[in-house]
Amino acid sequence: MDKKANIARFETVMSAVQRPGLDKLLDYIRKSDFYTAPASTKYHLCCEGGLLQHSLNVLDALRTLLIAKDEEGSEWFYIVAGHPVATIPDESVIIAALLHDICKTYFYTTSWRNAKNEKTGKWEKVPFYTVDDKMPLGHGPKSAMIIKQYMELTTEEMYAIWWHMGFTDSTNDGLIIGQAIKKFPFILALNTADMMASHFMEGDTDNLPAFAQAPAPESAGEYADNPATSDGPQFEDAPPLDAGA
Ligand SMILES: [Fe+2]
Ligand SMILES: [Fe+2]
């Protein structure tokens, strides 16, 4: 993980957003731990810079999930069975992807535990991340609220960020998220990209090898030209179900 390059890429991509208050939002981000925080305590990218890497991964996953409407990539179609169910401005794609987890700023702290050093056989104190939420306001809604303190969101962006956890959102009663997705399909696109990033692209301390090489800052997120990914990501398979037959 190239943390410096990730910060540069984030700032370059965000600078494409033309919206009042962006400078104040970026000021919040730079003063916070957004660039250094992990993405989780143990599930994915539980390492320094993990949250930023995850945010960029969601942008890449989302842009490759959607279909560019024009060559400039200023708008994207969310296509279902050949029909667009949503047309999404690139600015919304950037904002929703890069800021959906801004709720994780001021959220983690470092603790210490004893662990055996496999090489020396000695027990040592090693750091690990735990949650110490300084603004306990939930998850998706909290991200939307933090952004809206500095910069307006379109209705579609707010819904997408608010409900980006999809059906796993702890406040979902089984109906409301379905209703929200029908109104704003972008919610499902962001949720899918979020799942793609955390489940397919990310390991504990870095992206999985197939996704290790970041696209150029101006890239729409294509990995197709990267020979390392030409065969797709390599996952460890479980034995086939008929292995014992
Ligand atoms: Fe999230
Ligand atoms: Fe996320």
Judge whether 162 lies within some domain.
yes
Q: Which domain holds residue 132?
A: 3-210
What is the predicted pLDDT for the residue at 216?
A: 52
Burial bucket for residue 90 (CB in 10 Å: 0-12, 13-18, 19+): buried
Judge whether 222 lies within some domain.
no
What is residue 77's three-state secondary structure? strand
> Which ligand has an atom closest to residue 39 CA?
2
pLDDT at 220 over 90: no
Q: Percent of the chain having pLDDT more than 90?
A: 68
Question: Of all helices (H) and strands (E), which one includes residue 75?
Answer: strand 75-80
What is the predicted pLDDT for the residue at 186?
A: 98
* C-alpha 76 – ligand 2 centre gap (Å): 20
* C-alpha 79 – ligand 2 centre gap (Å): 22
Q: Percent of the chain having pLDDT more than 70?
A: 88
Judge whether 141 lies within some domain.
yes
Lowest mean pLDDT among 106-115, 152-161, 185-194: 106-115
Instruction: List the beta bridge partners of residue 129.
Output: 110
Judge whether 175 lies within some domain.
yes
Judge whether 8 lies within some domain.
yes
* C-alpha 227 – ligand 1 centre gap (Å): 30
* C-alpha 113 – ligand 1 centre gap (Å): 26
Judge whether 240 lies within some domain.
no
Total structural domains within the chain: 1
Alpha-carbon span 38 to 23, nearest angstrom: 24
The pLDDT confidence band at residue 6, using thresholds 50, 70 and 90, is: very high
* C-alpha 194 – ligand 2 centre gap (Å): 5
Q: Tell me what the mean pLDDT of segment 167-196 comes to.
A: 91
pLDDT digits (tens, 9 = 90+) for 22-32: 999 999 999 99
What is the predicted pLDDT for the residue at 235?
A: 53
pTM, two decimal places: 0.86
Judge whether 223 lies within some domain.
no
Judge whether 132 lies within some domain.
yes
| Secondary structure letter of residue 215 according to DSSP | P
The pLDDT confidence band at residue 227, using thresholds 50, 70 and 90, is: very low
* C-alpha 135 – ligand 1 centre gap (Å): 15
Alpha-carbon span 195 to 157, nearest angstrom: 18
Nearest residue to 226 via CA among 214, 234, 218, 235: 214
Torsional class of 196: left (φ above 0), alpha (ψ -120 to 50), beta (otherwise): alpha
* C-alpha 59 – ligand 2 centre gap (Å): 10
* C-alpha 124 – ligand 2 centre gap (Å): 32
The pLDDT confidence band at residue 213, using thresholds 50, 70 and 90, is: confident
Q: 44-48, 126-130, 196-200: which has the highest mean pLDDT?
A: 196-200
What is the predicted pLDDT for the residue at 170?
A: 77
* C-alpha 240 – ligand 2 centre gap (Å): 31
The pLDDT confidence band at residue 231, using thresholds 50, 70 and 90, is: low
Sign of the C-alpha dihedral, residues 46, 165, 73, 20?
negative
pLDDT digits (tens, 9 = 90+) for 63-121: 999 999 888 879 999 999 999 999 999 999 999 999 999 999 999 998 888 888 888 88
Q: Tell me what the mean pLDDT of segment 149-154 comes to.
A: 97
